[in-house]
A and B are shown apart, each in its own frame.
Chain A
Amino acid sequence: MESKKYTKSDTQDIANQIRKQILGIAIKTGGCYLAQACSSAEIIAALYTQVLHLGPSVGEWEAIPFPGVPGPDNMDYQRGSAYHGLPDPDKDRFFVSCCHYASVIYCALAAVGRISPSALEKFNVDGWNMEMIGAEHSPGFENTAGSLGLTVSIAAGTAHARKMKGESGLVYCLMGDGELQEGQTWECVQAAGYYHLDNFIMVVDVNGQQVEGAIEDQMAEEPLADRFQAFGAACVSCDGHDIDAIIEACRAEHVGKPLVVLCKTKGYTGIPPLEKKWPFLHFVRISEAEKPEYQKIYDEM
């Protein structure tokens, strides 16, 4: 798996597959974080197949029962990061701050052969490690990210530690744009700039939506690129549905600075009827009446 080289076309196929699988979950269960899959499918597919340098997964092939809460007597449980391979000095780390995207991460892991496709059957099933919102033990998760703004600092602290140790691997952190409203995010960016963490890359799914609707109707966030630059980061923007653009943006030069990649996306990409629900797409519900329309799209995917 490590040696597998994906073409851009493979990556797009994986993005499509992620979108389809999560639409399938939404139809089956009546609702899920579908719009996040639509906005981030290309970003996450590009990260796993083209951007991240990860060793082979050392996680269990199938889903496992919830391995227990960390504590003095339980520190050897299987970490979600096992699915990103061993933490070797030259390998990258991938933190997922927007942990509502857990299903997207699980699907991506399955698509790139890091976990069994049948593990997805345990998604959001009581007592298993494939929880709806990821934590330390969830496949693909380095940490417990449900409280927004914390993970970016943990990832930056990790990058700082790796820089002090002279490791060559990079630290990536996938974020949503809503959490850019958290003060801690900006505390982190200023510190990452201060410590010249050029091994730290924040990839933001700028889908313009949050729980209560469109971001612009809740809080002033723009101009995001100017804000990041003013806080000491290099910042580039790209079309978050264009695989080539995402890869190129993640490779942008950022000498002596952390890099922020703003991926401009839409939460209804690939599933047009979702646009009718915009901007209330945080948790998409599909009613019985709507199911045939979505089933038709699913069947054609």
Chain B
Amino acid sequence: MKIEVNTHEKNMIRFAAEHPEVLVLSADLGSSCEVKKFRAVYPDRYLTMGIAEQNMCSWAAGLAREGYRPFLHTFAVFLYRRILDQLEMSVAYPNLPVVFVGFVPGITTPGGVTHQSINDVGVLRTVPNMTIFDVGDATEIEGVLDLAWACNGPVFIRMLRKEVPRLFPADEPMQFNRARVLSEGDDILILSSSICTEEAMRATQVLKEHGLSIQHMHVSTLKPFTDPAILEALRKTRHGVITIENQYEIGGLFSAVSEMIAENGIGCRLKRIALPGYPHGASKMYLMKKYGIDAMHLVQAVEALTGRSLGITEADLAEERFVDFLEV
């Protein structure tokens, strides 16, 4: 498993070279959001907006009205929780092409609860006109800006930074509103997003060795959520579906899947693996284990749905570890 470093940093510069209308706006966290080099390369296209996110958001709306494409860079939590009114009335209502590049989503920061965006997907799924992307690896970081561009409207990206694994082939870019099929099977459907996909890939390998047929799909578009392949997978799963996500248990992937099941009258069991409430400040691996959004908890959910005890241990899963995420 290859680990890529600062993928967004390179990609943002590549992307801006292709689109002269692109501007980067920062709220003093540009160097923590991989746009420090962008500032050096394109000083005139890097607008420092100070530690003032509300103004940055509405200001971006003004820039977008004049044909620019603003990409707002700061931590995800400051791009929805702090500025929801500005986001909705300045950008989402008029359907302006402003891209919110939200870093350190969920528990990918040791910064504690003020820095951890645990309900961004839940909150923003309720915002009309908004598109939400949740990237899972380096290949998706490389592809997400082009998708955001094509949306030509408000987009929120849950962006990963620094060392990120390349889980998917570099020549198979992320597709809009299409889940990525990582394993095909019909006993259990696993739908995963963000950093939980790597966990699910580890669990899936071990589960397969225990004779289970697993359909594993990685979801990177959370709004809209109308992928017909997911609907089909929900219809065919024998024992049910498990969602695993780096987000609060209400409003995110689990809720999107629940809505799809209910709306289509599908009679399948659904288990959620998600953050149970506000987290606290600690390392990512510690928090993933503590709040149960890891491979071991996924195995336990599979056992619960199938009624089979598989005898899989942490040690079995550790052998399948792709990368240690202790770096924060």
> Which positions in A face B, CB cutoff 8 Å?
69-72, 75, 135-136, 142-144, 146-147, 149-162, 164-165, 183-184, 187-188, 190-191, 194
Contacts and interface: CB of A to CB of B under 8 A. Distances in A.
A144 B67 contact: no
A142 B94 CA distance: 11
Contact of A157 (B60, B94, B152): B60
Nearest to B83: A184
A71 to B, nearest CB: 5
Nearest to A73: B95
A155 B62 CA distance: 6
Main secondary structure of the interface of A (DSSP, over half): helix
Contact of A158 (B55, B57, B66): B66
Contacts of B128: 69, 71
B90 interface: yes
**Which of B54, B57, B86, B129: most chain A CB closer than 10 A?**
B54
B59 interface: yes
A147 B94 CA distance: 14
B268 interface: no
Contact of B59 (A72, A147, A191): A191
B50 A187 contact: yes
A153 B89 CA distance: 12
A135 B90 CA distance: 11
B166 to A, nearest CB: 32
Given A153-B57, A157-B61, 11 more contacts: A69-B93, A71-B95, A72-B153, A75-B95, A151-B58, A153-B58, A157-B60, A157-B63, A158-B66, A184-B86, A191-B52
Nearest to B90: A150
A55 B50 CA distance: 35
Going nearest first, the 7 A-B pairs with the smallest beta carbon separation are: A157-B62, A153-B58, A161-B66, A187-B55, A157-B59, A187-B52, A158-B62
A190 B95 contact: no
A161 B65 contact: yes
Given A71-B128, A161-B67, A153 B50 contact: no
B129 A150 contact: no
Contact of A153 (B44, B59, B95): B59
24 contacts: A69-B128, A136-B93, A142-B65, A143-B90, A144-B89, A144-B93, A146-B89, A150-B85, A150-B90, A151-B58, A153-B61, A153-B86, A154-B58, A157-B65, A158-B63, A160-B63, A164-B44, A164-B68, A165-B66, A183-B54, A184-B55, A187-B52, A187-B55, A191-B52
A150 B58 contact: yes
Nearest to B25: A157
Interface of B: 44, 47, 49-50, 52, 54-55, 57-63, 65-68, 85-86, 89-90, 93-95, 128-129, 152-153
A153 B63 contact: no
A136 B94 contact: yes
Contact of A191 (B55, B66, B67): B55
A185 B298 CA distance: 48
A275 to B, nearest CB: 35
Q: Which among B44, B47, B90 has the highest number of chain A CB atoms within 10 Å?
A: B90
Contacts of A154: 58-59, 61-62, 65, 90
Given A146-B89, A183-B54, A187-B55, A161 B95 contact: no
Contacts of A135: 93
Contacts of B93: 69-70, 135-136, 144
Contacts of B62: 153-161
B50 A191 contact: yes
B94 A161 contact: no
Contact of B58 (A72, A157, A164): A157
A188 B53 CA distance: 10
Contacts of B57: 153
Nearest to A136: B94
Contacts of A149: 54
Contacts of A188: 55, 58-59
Contacts of B58: 150-154, 157, 184, 188
A184 B52 CA distance: 8
Contacts of B68: 161, 164
A185 to B, nearest CB: 9
Contacts of A162: 66
Contacts of A153: 54-55, 57-59, 61-62, 86, 90
A158 B50 CA distance: 18
Nearest to A188: B55
